[in-house]
Amino acid sequence: MLEVDEIKKEIYCCGTVRSSRKNLPNNLKNDNKLTRGEWDWFTRREMLTCVKWKDKAVVTVLSTINAPTESVPVGKREKAGTIIQINCSQTVNDYRRCMGDVDRADMLKSYYAIDRKSRKWWHRLFWHFIDTALVNSFIIYKQATENGLKLKDFRLEVISGLVSINRLKRDLERSPFFENSCKVHVPINLRTDQAKYMPVHGTNKNCFLEFHKK
């Protein structure tokens, strides 16, 4: 593993990892058995530690820096707006505190991703770019404003703005070009040579009326 090779070079690291990756310890507690603020860990002989900590969701971290038994209280905001204190692994807390811009952008992108399964491969690529553009614009927006919108409200405002751009009002007077295009007409300069029939305006009538009376 990369982390083990880095230890040999005396380079220490800490980062998240997917719980489905190979070579991860399989003796950690299941996600549904962990309560909020609880974590489990496993350390290899190379001093590589795998920590699984649960907040609202489970976070799995690989680290060669901290001791897995250390903890620190962190504040978490509830739906009602209140902030509660829960225990957090020191390893996870250090990662969150020193999280890079790429990891932070990936975290924001995962909250309200538009990605949907599709048989067409380019659909997922298209929605990925849309999500990335929204997250990047939200980061710039937060840097420009002190007390701005939250990510969810920001995305709703962007959607509302895109829907209402250049919306045409139905009660506006139609343009002369549109009115002329609805009229049935024959161009004056219509060529008549080599024509099998000549289009001529006639009166509205049932051509087969006399035939049905016989």
pLDDT tens-digit readout, 123-169: 888 988 999 999 999 989 988 887 778 888 999 999 888 887 666 55
Task: Give the Cα separation of 186 and 39 in Å (integer).
Answer: 81
Query: Assign residue 190 a region: left if phi > 0, alpha if psi is -120 to 50, beta otherwise?
Result: beta
- For residue 209, pLDDT beyond 60: no
Which of 32, 21, 33 shows the shortest CA–CA distance to 61?
A: 21
- For residue 28, pLDDT beyond 80: yes
Instruction: Determine how β-strand 58-63 pairs with β-strand 83-89.
Output: unpaired
- For residue 178, pLDDT beyond 60: no
- For residue 118, pLDDT beyond 50: yes
pLDDT of residue 136: 92
- How far CA 194 is from CA of 96, 142, 183, 185, 189, in Å, comes to 81, 70, 26, 21, 15
Q: Are 77 and 71 within 8 A, CB to CB?
A: no
**In angstroms, what is the C-alpha Rg of the chain?**
33
- For residue 27, pLDDT beyond 80: yes
- For residue 194, pLDDT beyond 70: no
Task: Give the Cα separation of 50 and 15 in Å (integer).
Answer: 10
Residue found under tokens 């999500």: 131
pLDDT tens-digit readout, 64-80: 887 888 888 888 877 77
Assign 3-class secondary structure to the chain: CHHHHHHHCCCCCEEECCCCCCCCCCCCCCHHHCCCCCEEEEECCCCCEEEEEECCCEEEEEECCCCCCCEEEEEEECCCCCEEEEEEEHHHHHHHHCCCHHHHHHHHHHHCCCCCCCCCHHHHHHHHHHHHHHHHHHHHHHHHCCCCCCHHHHHHHHHHHHHCCCCCCCCCCCCHHHHHHHCCCCCCCCCCCCCCCCCCCCCCCCCCHHHHHC
